Each structure stands twice: as C-alpha cells, then as structure tokens.
Chains A and B, each alone.
Chain A
Amino acid sequence: MSIDEIQEEIVSEFSLLDGDMEMTVFYIMELGQKLPPLNEADRTEENVVKGCQSKVWLTGNLENDKVYFTADSNTAITKGLVSLLVRIFNGQPPETILNADLFFMKKIGMERFIGTQRSNGFAAMIKQMKLYALAFKTKQEVKS
C-alpha cells in the first residue's frame, strides 16, 4: 500500500469512532499496545526523540532499500501516536518517506485530542523519521 492509501485507511478507521474522545483515546492506546517491541539495545539516550514531552525512542533500518522503524514510548498514548507513523512509513523507500505529505492528522482532527505540546512532539517524531530517510537516501546515492 502507498503512504496515501495507508493514511486513508487510518482516516476511515478513526471515522468509526464518531468523534467520541474517550473511544479515540482508548483506540490510540490499543494501537500502541500492538506496536512491535523495541530491542532493549535500542533503548538508548541517543535514540530518544528530542522535543517530545513524553519519552520516545525511535530507530530505523534500511532493508532491501526499504525503511523499517521501531519505536517505543513511556506513555501509552504517545506510543499509539508513534505507531501510526510507523505503520505509514514502514516498508517505504527513503525517497517516498522524504516526499510524503502527511494529511491524516488533519483529517482525523488530531489537534482536538493532542494538545499543543504533544503536537510539537509529534512533529519532532516526523522530523526524526524523515532525517532517517534522508540519511538512508544519501547512503544509497553514495553506493550507486
């Protein structure tokens, strides 16, 4: 699936929640519970995303020219939020991630259920993922 198709899928899943805030928050936390665990070795200070109020660990790998992220957080809601990004970006080529236009946040009305501080943290996660993509793309170009 393309990044846009996954985003549309997320949007339609959230639309089932009908704007109920409590259901939405529970749903996000459920998504977080399903996130594949982070290797203990990756739980380092180096992998902490700067700018998040909660602690978020994020690391990325390039396999067969596709990017795969693993992540974790000390808070359940943030873990759910980062799981959305992992789902959207995993298995995509670096170039596609770099050029991705993320529209799902606006469509699911994310600003309603995450405050200003968490919004900034979410932006920091996206930035960090794009930085990984950029590094992998540069590596690919050097190789070829």
Chain B
Amino acid sequence: MTTASPALSVIDVEKIRKEFPILHQTVNGRDLVYLDNAATSQKPLVVIDALTDYYKGYNANIHRGIHTLAEKATKAFEQTRHTAKQYINAASEQEIIFTRGVTEGINLVATSYGRTFVKEGDEIIVSELEHHSNIVPWQFVCEEKNATLKVIPVNDNGELDLDTYRKLLSSKTKIVSVNHASNSLGTINPIKEIIRLAHEVGAVVFIDGAQAGAHLEIDVQDLDCDFYAVSAHKMYGPTGTGFLYGKKEQLEKMPPYHGGGEMIKEVTFKKTTYNDLPYKFEAGTPNIGDVVAFKYAMDFITGLGRETMAAYEHELLLYATERVSKLKGVKLIGTAAHKVSVLSFTVDGIHPFDIGQMLDARGIAVRTGHHCTQPLMDRYEIEGTVRASFAIYNTKKEVDQLVEGLERIINFMK
C-alpha cells in the first residue's frame, strides 16, 4: 500500500460530520457507525437542501417550456452537466449523458454500441473483479451476436493479471469493460494501461467508475477512455441519477437507446430524425430534481479536494487494515497495492451474515455477502465477505468501534 500524506490533520472531520444529519442518530441504542459507503454514501445538507429548494421553488419540465420556472429548471439541470464535464475533464458537455446510474450507463453502451458494432465471432473482455452489472449486459450482447466473453483473471492479492490481458487482446476484441476500482476488494485498476492496450487492437473501452467517482481523480481525456460511468448516490449525491461520459465520435455513430420525447429532432410517421448530442440519449423527462442536486454533491467533493479526501480515507483504510488484520481468524480478501477505502475480510468459522447482524446490533453498518460479484467470490472459494468501506465523514474512533464489535463476536464464537 502506498503511504499517505497526513491528511488527518487537514480534514476537520467533526465539521464535515455536521453536514450529514443522518449520522447523528442512535441505532439499537448506540451511535450509528456507517461503514457501508461503497454501497451508497450519505448526503450532505447542501444536497438535501438543493433537492427541497428545487421542489419548493422551481420544479418544471425542462428544455421545451418557455415560462420562467422551466427556464430556471433547465439552467440548473444544464449547470450539473457543466459541472460533470469539469469533474471528469470531458472535452465537451455533449459528451455527458444523464442516466439512472452506472448500471444504466453500461446497458446503454452494451445495447447501443454493442448491438451495432459487435459481430459474430467477436470478443468482449471484462475482468474477474466486475460487479454483475458489468458482466450481464455484455453477456446479453454476446448471446445475441454469438460473440465471446473473455475474462481477465485476478491474482491472490486481487490485482488484474495484465500479462493474461495482453494475451486475450486480438483483432477480435471489440469492447473492453472494467471497473476503475473494485467494489468488493477496493483494488484500483491500472486503467490507463488497460485502455492503451485495448486501443492498440482497435477495441473501445468502457470504465465502470462507480467506486471511483467519489474517491479518485478522473481525467477522461488523459485516460483516453471511450466511455466512463458514475452513480451520484455513491458520490454524496441523490439516488437514481448518474452520468455516462462517451467520446463524441463514439456517441455520434451510436443509434439512440430509448425512443421518446426530447431525443428527436422531427417525427413523422415515415421517418424520425434524432436530436443532437447529448439529448439523443436522453429520451423522456429526466430525473430533473436529482440531477440538479447532483451538482452540489460534486461541488462538495471538489470543495474538499479529491486528493485530500483520498488521502484521509487512505489513512483510515490503513488504520483499519492494520487493526482488523490482527484479529484472530481474520483473513483479508483483497490486498492490492493500490486500493480505495474498502476493507473486505472473512473470519474463520463465522459466517459473514452473522458478523453483519451482530455488528448491526451495536449500531455498526457494514455489508456482508457476495457484493454482486459472485464470480470473484468463486475465485477465492468463499461465499462472501464482510466489507467495511469508508467515506470522508468516518473517523478512527469508528474504526475502533468496528474492531471492538468484531472482537466481541470472535470471542463469543470461540
């Protein structure tokens, strides 16, 4: 693991915690310790306020209205697109398509790009680290087109085996789709290298940024990826929204995903022409309120600084890793050199569900199970793990509470 800068002193975590009303409650008689941030992060007041302000002050359908509220809503909606463009350094706002989240982003590209450009005998490459949502949509394409899904294996530490990846690549490879960071293990993948190698054989690359959005610097132009998707709800933003970045040249040659209002230029019963980017891919009334509030979530992250946040979270991860790994019977699953703040582990002789339930009895929220990565669990021959994942509002004291809870369970089960 890389050494972190002393961000604990830079981040005023108590001040940050005040911004998150949900954290200040008791669960089962104890202060809530929320360590399920890789599933969804909590929302700061600025985001909650932005949502209520929208519904209280300027809820209206966007783009086509000429009245004042519609204009205000449209501006706010497009402001989020502008913020998103800057957040990932896209070349143009036309490359930002609002979705329901990463899953929809993957399905959009699998359907629209995959079904158009993947032919019989072609190959799509994913990795063993992928979430089911970055496997199943590609399986749909492969089944329909008689194409083959190839898989980059991971080593025992949970890092992708790039040598095998190089061997998998060929002129048959049409799409490579991997995550930026693994939701189960936290591994940060060398996506720049993965993208470069895929481009050498003429394949396009989709990056699932679900676990990176709130934690890592993202520069899609520097990465040179063809597609990149994030979910707002894992970035301190509302549920039900996110965006897909697509290189303009790719998006332009793709057919629309959904048909409906907004995505058309002109409709006759003989022929319909499609709207320009990004609207071609945004059929129907979008999730306006949540998109509007999403801007404030990105501003919240940018305000604190992603690098500072990542350094702070990394310190928490190192501290938690050090303490949890010393507990009797604990086996860490995922010990990659570069990780986001995800700590996954098993405990000898104790089922993850039991650990989750017992921690919950102490007000500690973790995730247990296969984390929607069953092939990865099969790789490690385990049913699932306990996963603690950290965000900017977590503290070392909370790590201590987690450790204390685990100690009690381990002693009880002896």
Contacts and interface: CB of A to CB of B under 8 A. Distances in A.
A74 interface: yes
Nearest to A23: B361
A26 B357 CA distance: 10
Q: Which of B351, B354, B360 has the largest number of chain A CB atoms within 10 A?
A: B354
Nearest to A113: B361
A77 B353 contact: yes
A76 B357 CA distance: 10
Contacts of B361: 21-22, 24-25, 113
Contacts of B413: 29, 76
Contacts of A113: 357, 361
B303 interface: no
B28 interface: yes
Contacts of A53: 353
B262 to A, nearest CB: 37
B29 A54 contact: no
A28 B93 CA distance: 56
Interface string A65-77: 0000000001111
B353 A22 contact: no
A53 B306 CA distance: 38
Given A21-B361, A22-B358, A26-B412, A76 B351 contact: yes
Interface in B150-188: none
A74 B351 CA distance: 7
Contacts of A5: none
A75 B28 CA distance: 21
A113 B361 CA distance: 8
A54 B353 contact: yes
Contacts of A26: 358, 412
B362 interface: yes
Nearest to A73: B351
Chain A CB within 10 A, most for which of B351, B357, B412: B357
Contacts of B351: 54, 74-76
Interface in A20-40: 20-22, 24-26, 29
Contacts of A25: 357-358, 361
A21 B359 CA distance: 10
Contact of B353 (A20, A21, A24, A75): A75
Interface string B314-358: 000000000000000000000000000000000000110110011
Interface residues of A, number: 15
Interface in A112-144: 113
B348 to A, nearest CB: 13
Given A22-B362, A29-B412, A77 B357 contact: yes
Contacts of A76: 350-351, 354, 413
Contact of A21 (B29, B383, B408): B29
B28 A22 contact: yes
A22 B33 CA distance: 15
Contacts of B357: 25, 77, 113
Nearest to A112: B28
Given A29-B412, A76-B413, A113-B361, A21 B28 contact: yes
Interface string B2-30: 00000000000000000000000000110
Interface centre among A20, A21, A53 (most CB of B within 10 A): A21
Interface in B354-396: 354, 357-358, 360-362, 383
Interface in A40-75: 53-54, 74-75
A20 B363 CA distance: 12
B28 A77 contact: no
A20 B361 CA distance: 8
Nearest to B352: A75
Contacts of A78: 353
B385 to A, nearest CB: 14
Contacts of A77: 353-354, 357
Nearest to B357: A77
A96 to B, nearest CB: 32
Given A76-B351, A77-B354, 19 more contacts: A21-B28, A21-B29, A21-B361, A22-B28, A22-B358, A22-B361, A22-B408, A26-B412, A29-B354, A29-B413, A53-B353, A54-B351, A75-B351, A75-B353, A76-B413, A77-B353, A78-B353, A113-B357, A113-B361
23 contacts: A20-B29, A21-B28, A21-B29, A21-B362, A22-B358, A22-B361, A22-B362, A22-B408, A24-B361, A25-B357, A29-B354, A29-B412, A29-B413, A74-B351, A74-B383, A75-B353, A76-B350, A76-B413, A77-B353, A77-B354, A77-B357, A78-B353, A113-B357
